[in-house]
Structure 1
Amino acid sequence: MSTDMDAIAKLYDYRKSIDNFDAALIHILAERFRVTKAVGVLKASADLPPSDPNREAEQVARLRELAKTADLDPDFAEKFLEFVIREVIQHHKQAAAK
């Protein structure tokens, strides 16, 4: 049987892992946005549109499949990607406006 102290220690370990994952996610997102900002600058300099619906559809399909293999809800993965894409498009629009 687990004691309250064991449960508290385990909870601490879980929370420490969650904090580490959150930090990794933030750093990975920052790197991703650095690259997508470069894409936005390139698109702006080449007079390309900030949005690419075909690429976005490919990404959604790819991430939904990745989510399935990772045992993550594909709908959640799609919503997350849509959120990221909206932010990326804003960055691309800002680059085009400069």
Structure 2
Amino acid sequence: MSAVPGAGEGAPDTERARELLLEERRSIDNIDAALVHLLAERFAHTQRVGVLKAAHGLPPADPAREQEQIAHLRDLADQAGLDPTFAEAFLRFIVNEVIRHHERIRDEVPGQH
């Protein structure tokens, strides 16, 4: 049995395959839009964290928290059937960007560098 919806034995119904492809792509587009909005919300929160850190002379990076978050995300990914290595790489990319923003915020605060 095929894992592709609408795929069966014999010659495929090309028109039906195109319809299914469009449906899947619409779903992917919706998920991508949701991801962008979630990332924007996440970065709004991390910007506020960066301001708090800068105002109180705290370092832009928190390696212990990062390790906890990575371990937690890897567990969540595994439970969800997502490759934990991919999930970790994705989180590391985001965390590196957040740290870069926190460094910029720190550098804008007089006497905090």
Question: Equivalents in 2 of 1:40, 1:26: separation in Å?
Answer: 20
Q: CA deviation at 1:3?
A: 1.3
**Could you say what the CA RMSD is over the residues aligned between the two structures, in angstroms?**
0.8
Deviations 1:54-94 (A, max 9, x none): 00000000000000000000000000000000000001001
Indicate whether 1:96 and 2:103 are aligned.
no
SS at match of 1:48: coil
Query: Structure 1: any 5+ residue segments left out of the alignment?
Result: none
Structure showing greater relative contact order (alpha-carbon pairs closer than 8 Å, 6 or more residues apart): 1
Q: Scaled by the length of structure 2, what TM-score is found? A: 0.85
Aligned equivalent of 1:83: 93
Aligned equivalent of 1:14: 24
Query: Structure 2: any 5+ residue segments left out of the alignment?
Result: 1-7, 109-113
Aligned equivalent of 1:73: 83
Q: Sequence identity, in percent?
A: 54
Bigger proportion of residues as helix:
1
Structure whose CA Rg is larger: 2
Indicate whether 1:34 and 2:44 are aligned.
yes
Aligned equivalent of 2:61: 51
- How many residue pairs align between the two structures? 98
Aligned equivalent of 2:15: 5
Opposite residue 89 of structure 1, the aligned amino acid is: I
Question: Equivalents in 1 of 2:104, 2:38: separation in Å?
Answer: 22
